[in-house]
Amino acid sequence: MLSFLGDNIIIYMTEFLETFANSYNQLFMTLPIIKTIIFLTNHVFCLWCISFLGNKKIQPYQIGLLVVLVIWMMSIPFYMDSALNVWLYYLPNQLFLIYLGCYAFYLSKQKDNLNNKKILQFFGYLFVLSGICILLEDSYVIFNIDQYSNLKLKIYNRNISEDIFSTIMSSFIIIFCSKQENNKDDNLNEIEELSQFSKKYDLTQREQEVLALLLKHYSNQEIADELFLSIGTVKTHVHNIYVKLDINKRATLFSLFEETNYNLSLTDK
């Protein structure tokens, strides 16, 4: 969000401060380091965001792509009367955004990411469509509106499609972080309820771990896989839990858990 904000501040300054605009545009045409840093920051964040939601680490080849991207942007020879060179500077950035969208679609199809499938698909559509729209708008503005003559340098720095993209991304950040905070509070409440319930029925630490997964509707095999136990050991723990709770089926477990925690909450009050 700071990167988006910084980029827009610079753009506003080029629109309203002619002296700054001339200096910035001249710098951009010789050594576009500021814009390159902004692009790199945005790409790293977007890549991290998708990888995080897809339960993946950033891959070495992706770091390599970013390095190549930076080298490309810093090595494109910018001369006057060179709209093509400016277009070539922006081109790989939009292609990388489209790649991120395709990568999000790929991760959304993985079995480990079913919980985040819709979010990843949303990112996929957002990145692909934004990349295409930004590229088309850049192409039109650079070749039809901007001027790169020796006598007059005039660059229209704002890209409406990019503004829409950054607005959507910033909104997503705010919504996602607020939901994460709410989930954190819910998880703390669930941990506290589980702890009180286990203490009341004198469950061991391992039985508490098994109980937590039972309450999430895990099967015995899934519990064994999650806790790295044999299926026989899990069945033994489940049997011991049922004995301590004086129940004989899972359906009773859920109702007992809710009733016990409700009574405990009344006692606390």
Average pLDDT value for the chain? 86
pLDDT band at 30 (very low <50, low <70, confident <90, very high): confident
Q: Which residues have CB under 8 Å from 256's CB, separation 6+? A: 245, 247
Q: First-to-last CA distance in the chain?
A: 43
CB-CB contact of 183 with 193 (8 Å):
no
**Is residue 18 packed enough to be buried (19+ CB in 10 Å), middle (13-18) or exposed (0-12)?**
exposed
pLDDT at 61: 95
| Residues 48, 133, 49: CA angle, nearest 5 degrees | 10
Q: What is the pLDDT of residue 267?
A: 59
Q: What percent of the chain has pLDDT above 90? A: 42
pLDDT confidence band for 127 (50 / 70 / 90): very high
Q: pLDDT digit string (tens) for 149-201?
A: 766 778 888 899 999 998 998 888 888 777 766 655 555 567 778 888 888 88
Q: Judge whether residue 47 has pLDDT over 90.
A: yes
Of residues 163 and 114, more confidence is placed in 163
Beta-bridged to residue 154, according to DSSP, are: 147
pLDDT in tens, 208-252: 899 888 888 888 998 998 888 899 999 999 999 999 988 888 888
Per-residue pLDDT, 129: 96
User: What mean pLDDT comes out for the span 258-268?
Assistant: 66
Residue position matching structure tokens 């009773």 = 252
- For residue 163, which of 52, 2, 7 has the smallest C-alpha distance? 7
pLDDT for residue 264 is more than 80: no
